[in-house]
């Protein structure tokens, strides 16, 4: 397979190009490269997304990866409220990608003018089984990844830095609105 990454992306891409040769497709190598790109993003303390538009196969691979990572976070979450930004900070996946996959798997609902993450444990467990990688080697072990990110001084202009999100340089007028915080629960409550 092949993977390329820009040193700095103005639009938050953590992967510029990915290729898995046809004879190696459906064996977990593409997912491994996707996992690798997000582990690098975690080391950089940034959120990222692949360069768009995605091919049909690329979209299917990313959707599966995003769903699995988001479901893992939801499965272990014990907080009464959880925002899409909280999930983004833990996974380095862009908020738009998280909200899209939550909608597609039926866990994000629009109720009374706000989005609510509906996460009954039985549904999460069922979905987690569905999106669990078939090949164990398709996940990067972050403990074995030794890499130092390119350090540059962009004077706080890196809008994809998790540190910038924490310090409040994101968009939105209030913290609750900026984070897309919605009550968590088994229903629409």
Give backbone dihedrals phi and psi of 67, rounded to 5 degrees, phi first.
-60, -45
Cα separation, 87 vs 89, whole angstroms: 5
Assess contact for 180 and 115: CB atoms under 8 A. Answer: yes
- Residue 1 CA to residue 37 CA, distance in Å, equals 13
Contact at 8 Å (CB) between 160 and 12? yes
In a 13 Å sphere around the CA of 121, the CA atoms on its Cβ side amount to: 3
Active site residues: 51
Quote the tokens at residue 27.
Answer: 């064996």
Question: Are the C-beta atoms of residues 66 and 98 closer than 8 Å to each other?
Answer: yes
With tokens 């190009």, the residue in question is: 17
CA torsion through residues 16, 58, 38, 137, sign? negative
φ, ψ of residue 116 to 5 degrees: the values are: -130, 130
């Amino acid at each position: 397979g092949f993977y390329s990454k820009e040193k700095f992306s103005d639009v938050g891409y953590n992967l510029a190009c990915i290729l898995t040769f046809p004879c190696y497709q459906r064996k977990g190598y593409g997912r491994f490269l996707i996992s690798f790109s997000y582990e690098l993003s975690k080391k950089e303390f940034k959120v990222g997304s692949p360069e768009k538009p995605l091919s049909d196969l690329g979209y299917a691979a990313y959707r599966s990866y995003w769903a699995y990572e988001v479901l893992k976070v939801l499965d272990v979450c014990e907080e009464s409220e959880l925002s899409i930004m909280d999930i983004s900070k833990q996974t380095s996946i862009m908020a738009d990608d998280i909200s899209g996959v939550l909608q597609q798997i039926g866990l994000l609902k629009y109720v009374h003018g706000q989005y609510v993450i509906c996460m009954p444990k039985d549904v999460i467990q069922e979905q987690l089984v569905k999106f669990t990688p078939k090949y164990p080697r398709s996940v990067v072990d972050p403990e074995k990844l030794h890499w130092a990110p390119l350090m540059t001084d962009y004077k706080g202009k890196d809008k994809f830095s998790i540190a910038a999100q924490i310090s409040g340089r994101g968009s939105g007028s209030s913290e609750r609105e900026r984070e897309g915080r919605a009550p968590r629960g088994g229903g629409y409550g």
